Amino acid sequence: MKVSHIEHLGIAVKSLEESIPYYENLLGIKCYNVEEVKDQRVKTAFFLVGETKIELLESTDPEGPIGKFLEKKGEGIHHIAFAVASATDALAEAETQGLTLIDKIARKGAEGMNIGFLHPKSTHGVLVEVCSK
Ligand code: ZN
């Protein structure tokens, strides 16, 4: 897989309402987009920090992936997303290398990106997302 840069860091938060002003103050950067991703049962908020974004993730369903994460681990870094030319190709390549995939094929994520996740059990404990435009 050829990664061009870190596209974003995903951070699980309990409340966007509380976290957005905190991050705006911390970074000196305004949140530029808030978007619900129904498929993943989250509401997301984005900050552009150089070429990399911070994606805050608030759960909309306690049984969803972020709801479960918050329940188990509390707030904090949830995943790292690498920008690749094609998420579909990157997932296929990861599979041929024996990595465990959460998504066999890319799906639509926030901001209309094509995304897919690799399972943390095959990535040294880090939930890895690949994404492409
Ligand atoms: Zn993400």
**Could you tell me the distance, in angstroms and rounded to a whole number, from the CA of residue 84 to the centre of ligand 1?**
13
Cα–Cα distance between 36 and 43 in angstroms, integer?
4
Encode pLDDT of 21-44 as tens digits: 999 999 999 999 999 999 899 999
Helices of type H across the chain: 16-27, 65-73, 87-96
* Residue in the block written with tokens 């699980």: 12
**Residue 17, domain CATH:** 3.10.180.10
HSE at residue 117, side-chain half, CA atoms within 13 A, is: 14
- C-alpha of residue 24 to centroid of ligand 1, in Å: 19
Per-residue pLDDT reduced to its tens digit, 90-114: 999 999 999 999 999 999 988 889 9
Q: How confident is the model at residue 83 (pLDDT cuts 50, 70, 90)?
A: very high
Say how many Å lie between the CA of residue 79 and the centre of ligand 1: 7
Question: Domain containing 53: what range?
Answer: 3-132
CA-to-CA separations, 86 to 12, 39, 57, 104, 120, in angstroms, rounded: 26, 21, 24, 13, 20
Number of separate domains in the chain = 1
Ligand 1 centre distance from Cα of residue 110 (Å): 8
pTM of the model: 0.93
